[in-house]
Amino acid sequence: MSSPLPKSYGLVLFPGFQALDAFGPLDVLNVLSISHPLSLSILASTLAPVPTNSPANGKLSPNFGESVVPTHTFANPPADLEVLIVPGGFGLRNEAVVEELAQFLKGAYPKLRYVLTVCTGSVPLAQSGVLEGRKATTNKKAWVWATSPFPKVDWVHKARWVVDGNIWTGSGVSAGIDLVLAFVEEVYGAAKAKELTIGIEYDRHEDPSYDPFADIWKVTE
C-alpha cells in the first residue's frame, strides 16, 4: 500500500485511441472511486471530443467510433497529477501525434508518482526518453513497429505487464485490465483488488509473465 494514497489521475487521449486500452483501466478505477475520493482529468490536444476512429488513420471505419470529452489540454494540465494512464491505438501511426504526446510526457513524468501505459501507449513514452534503460512491454501484434525505433529500452518479450520502478507497462489492449488490477493491489491492497475483480466478474491474470500472445504473434528475443 502507498501512503498517502494517490488521488489525482490523468488519462492521455488522441484521435484513434484504442477504446479498451483506456476503458479497461478506467472502468476499474471508476468503481474504485466509490470507496476512494479520486479525481480524473482527461488530457488531449484540444478540448474537442476525441474520437476512437481517427480520420488520419484510414484503417478504421469513419462511421464506427466513439468520442470522449477531454477536461484539459496538454498545454494546461492540472498541477497535481499523480498517476497518468496512456492508452495505445492506431492513431499513433501518425508521427506528429506520437511527438506531441512524447513532449507532454517528458514534461509531466518527473512530477508523477506513477505512469501506466497500455498496448502501444508505450510508444510515446519511449519517444519521450523516459523508458531508456527501463524494462517495459507493449502490444505483441505491433511489436516490431513499437519496439524497433527504441533500442535503448529493455523490452520484455513475454509479459502480460511489466513494472520498473514507478513505470507500469501493459501488453495489448485487454492486458490493461490485468495491469490496473495489479496496480490497485500494489497501491490500495489485495482485498480491494479482489473486490473490484469479482465486482466486474473478471477472470483476472495475476501472473505478469502470462503471455500466450508472444508466441501467437511470433515475438522472440
Interface residues toward a copy of itself, by CB under 8 A:
9, 11, 18-20, 22-24, 26-27, 29-30, 33-34, 36-40, 42, 49, 52-53, 59-61, 63-69, 139-141, 171-175, 177, 198-203, 205, 212-213, 216-217
- Spatial separation of the C-alpha atoms in residues 221 and 219, rounded to whole Å: 7
Nearer to a copy of itself (CB atom), residue 54 or residue 127: 54
Nearest distance in Å: CB 27, a copy of itself? 4
Strands 39-44, 72-73: pairing is parallel
Phi, psi of 130 (to 5 degrees): -60, -30
User: How many whole angstroms from its chain centre is CA 89?
Assistant: 10
* Angle made by CA atoms 41, 186, 209, in degrees to the nearest 5: 105
Nearest distance in Å: CB 59, a copy of itself? 5
Q: Do 137 and 162 form a contact (C-beta atoms < 8 A)?
A: yes
Nearest distance in Å: CB 25, a copy of itself? 10
- Spatial separation of the C-alpha atoms in residues 158 and 20, rounded to whole Å: 21
**What residues contact 113, with CB distance under 8 A and at least 6 apart?**
2, 6, 82, 83, 166
Nearer to a copy of itself (CB atom), residue 22 or residue 167: 22
Nearest distance in Å: CB 20, a copy of itself? 4
Q: Which segments of 48-94 does DSSP mark as H helices, in order?
A: none
Nearest distance in Å: CB 137, a copy of itself? 11
Nearer to a copy of itself (CB atom), residue 59 or residue 221: 59
Nearer to a copy of itself (CB atom), residue 127 or residue 174: 174
Nearer to a copy of itself (CB atom), residue 149 or residue 199: 199
